Amino acid sequence: MRSDVTKQGVERAPHRSLMYALGLTKSEIECPIVGIVNSFNEIIPGHIHLREVAEAVKAGVYTAGGTPLEFNTIGVCDGIAMGHLGMRYSLPSRELIADSVETVIQAHAFDALVFIPNCDKIVPGMLMAAVRLNIPAIFVSGGPMLAGRLPNGRCVDINDVFEAVGKAAKGEMSQAELEALEVAACPGCGSCSGMFTANTMNCLTEALGLGLSGNGTIPAVDSRRIHLAREAGRKVMKLLAADIHPRDIVTRDSLYNAFAVDMALGGSTNSVLHLMALAHEAGIDFSLETINDISKRTPHLAKMRPAGDYHLEDLDIAGGIAAVMKELGDRLNLKVKTVSGKTLGDYIASASVRDSEVIRPASSPHSTTGGLSILFGNLAPQGAVVKSAAVIPDMMKHEGLARVFESEDEATSAIMKGSINPGDVVVIRYEGPKGGPGMPEMLTPTSLISGMGLDREVALITDGRFSGATKGAAIGHVSPEAAERGPIAALREGDKIKIDIVGNRIDVELSDEEIEQRLSRLPEFEPKIKTGYLRRYIESVTSASTGAVFR
């Protein structure tokens, strides 16, 4: 066993002594040691209940003959971090999570791992760690939050609250109405209830083959979540016995499947960032152009919040991710391995769609192409990302004059003052991985635009990124970023920008010569933060087009 380096032989007597201090018995020390990588904390709704999930996992490990030992990772709630300095730490926390998991697991020589994540950067951070370490592993998330309900029965979620700020700013919602909404929108534990980043990544963990059926959709408060956790604990022991590792499961074919399911769900644009980072960890070359190829072959089957009216609980009742994959059929690579011990084809064989409104038939999709699009052009030579599923038809092609802002705060202030006009293209730059730093999400300005009713006429582009809750013609991850002298840094107020989501293009009406001349006149980039972790992050992080991984 891998853990033998800490417990076998005379020279390991001090190590065993310390294990006895933990309360372990001789027989428990001799069993395989399974690391329970928990992200429990008291600051994120998606994590507040994870102690109970961890106890169920440990029970499963025990019954299968293993000794579970739990440790924790950090976590950031993107919703609470939104709109202030905290958001600059959100994406960088992904690297800290991966590195900290690696550190503990290598130091303590675990034999197998069960990961318990549940929010935006925790899921990808743990996925990256699992593939990097390549020790038998399985994922079981904390599950999604239920949708909130107003007294009139209307289902609401956190995105409604963000958009309500724009309505309140326009005088279209009273303070009492806003307060009633904010109290009702998040009724309890779990990851926010729409197809936002956390739920997207938990669903895609199923598609990758690293999570059991229901990992992405069983509500946090449902007893089936505890059943799933126990089964994950038992299953990891089978993975250990069979010597099946994450890199046996995470292959180019399974990444293809994850992107295809992402397209079918119209998932968060952040999934592109995280799956590209996962490909990097696995040593798999996966280009942004390939993502467009997948989109063209994959129908959009489930229109979830924020693009539609359904929440994760509805998707779960309709059959979950297994049913989505069953409907996609041979559009997926069905021979890949999964942690279930079956191939993907066998894994989804018994799945069925129980509500064809929530999960449309492949013959009658919302769109014949996927819910995410990668745009290229002279404004984004290395690509940009948009959740096309959340863009109304009238905005799939748009031309407008640039309204250029050097930060999210500048743009938010202008929107709140009513300075943005129909037809404008709001440009927010120097908010990329280096420029932000940390590539902050732009949910506040996009929600204000939507709340003010401007999302049918105004586009927003940025080298930063968007929350999974963002809707409208919001184009992020523009690469190269402004801090790297990408073309977005050359834009000036009034430049004409052309957006063609159908044609996968984003361009500015400037010649290459003019762009180069403007860029050559710019001063050297001056980092906004010069101390602490974010200073080191600026020095190490790469482009969004490569997943914003470290060099």
Q: What is the mean pLDDT of residues 11-35?
A: 98
Is 201 inside a domain boundary? yes
Q: Which domain CATH number covers 103?
A: 3.40.50.2300
CB 440 within 8 A of CB 88: yes
The whole-number pLDDT of residue 37 equals 98
d(CA 112, CA 248): 14
> What average pLDDT is seen over the chain?
96
For residue 482, pLDDT beyond 90: yes
Q: What is the mean pLDDT of residues 235-246?
A: 98
Q: For residues 162 and 99, state if they share a domain.
A: no
Q: How confident is the model at residue 409 (pLDDT cuts 50, 70, 90)?
A: very high
Which of the 8 DSSP states describes residue 417?
A: T
Is 366 inside a domain boundary? no
The residues annotated with a catalytic role in the active site are 467
Q: Which domain CATH number covers 490?
A: 3.50.30.80
Strand (E) or helix (H) holding 240: helix 223-242
Maximum Cα interatomic distance, the chain, rounded to a whole number of Å: 76
Q: Pseudo-torsion of CA 292, 129, 110, 4, nearest 10°? A: 90
Lowest mean pLDDT among 139-153, 230-244, 459-473: 459-473
Amino acid found at 270:
N
Q: For residues 174 and 122, state if they share a domain.
A: no
Is 256 inside a domain boundary? yes
Q: For residues 434 and 407, state if they share a domain.
A: yes
Q: For residues 396 and 269, state if they share a domain.
A: no
Q: What is the mean pLDDT of residues 337-357?
A: 97
The whole-number pLDDT of residue 466 equals 87
Q: For residues 199 and 324, state if they share a domain.
A: yes
Beta bridge partners of 507: 498
The whole-number pLDDT of residue 447 equals 85
Which of the 8 DSSP states describes residue 459?
A: E
For residue 70, pLDDT beyond 80: yes
Q: For residues 413 and 527, state if they share a domain.
A: yes
The whole-number pLDDT of residue 124 equals 98
Give the structural domain span for 171.
153-184
Is 365 inside a domain boundary? no
For residue 469, pLDDT beyond 80: no
For residue 539, pLDDT beyond 90: yes
Q: What is the mean pLDDT of residues 275-281?
A: 97
Is 451 inside a domain boundary? yes
Q: How confident is the model at residue 455 (pLDDT cuts 50, 70, 90)?
A: confident
Q: How confident is the model at residue 170 (pLDDT cuts 50, 70, 90)?
A: confident
Q: What is the mean pLDDT of residues 90-114?
A: 98
Q: For residues 391 and 501, state if they share a domain.
A: yes
Q: Strand, helix or coil at 507?
A: strand
For residue 290, pLDDT beyond 80: yes
CB 414 within 8 A of CB 420: yes
CA distances from 450 to 164, 274, 340, 418, 543 (A): 9, 26, 42, 13, 28
Q: For residues 307 and 436, state if they share a domain.
A: no
- Rounded to 5 degrees, what angle do the CA atoms 537, 541, 547 make? 130
Q: For residues 541 and 440, state if they share a domain.
A: yes
Is 368 inside a domain boundary? no
Q: What is the mean pLDDT of residues 177-197?
A: 96
Amino acid found at 415:
I
- Tell which residue, 481, 412, 398, 478, has the closest CA to residue 442: 412
For residue 463, pLDDT beyond 80: yes
The whole-number pLDDT of residue 443 equals 81
What's the domain count of the chain?
4
The whole-number pLDDT of residue 163 equals 87
Q: Strand, helix or coil at 216?
A: coil
For residue 533, pLDDT beyond 80: yes
Q: For residues 273 and 309, state if they share a domain.
A: yes
Is 64 inside a domain boundary? yes
User: For residue 10, how many other CB atoms are within 10 A of its CB?
Assistant: 5
Q: How confident is the model at residue 64 (pLDDT cuts 50, 70, 90)?
A: very high
Instruction: Return the axis-axis angle of helices 175-184 and 158-169, rounded to nearest 10°.
Output: 170
Beta bridge partners of 34: 68, 112
d(CA 181, CA 167): 12
Q: How confident is the model at residue 294 (pLDDT cuts 50, 70, 90)?
A: very high
The whole-number pLDDT of residue 83 equals 84
Q: What is the mean pLDDT of residues 10-33?
A: 98
CB 32 within 8 A of CB 240: yes
Q: For residues 232 and 284, state if they share a domain.
A: yes
Q: What is the mean pLDDT of residues 118-125?
A: 97
For residue 472, pLDDT beyond 90: no
Q: How many helices (H) and strands (E) does the chain have?
A: 22, 14
Report the chain's terminal Cα–Cα distance, integer Å.
33
Q: Strand, helix or coil at 182?
A: helix
Q: For residues 62 and 128, state if they share a domain.
A: yes
Amino acid found at 51:
R
Is 147 inside a domain boundary? no
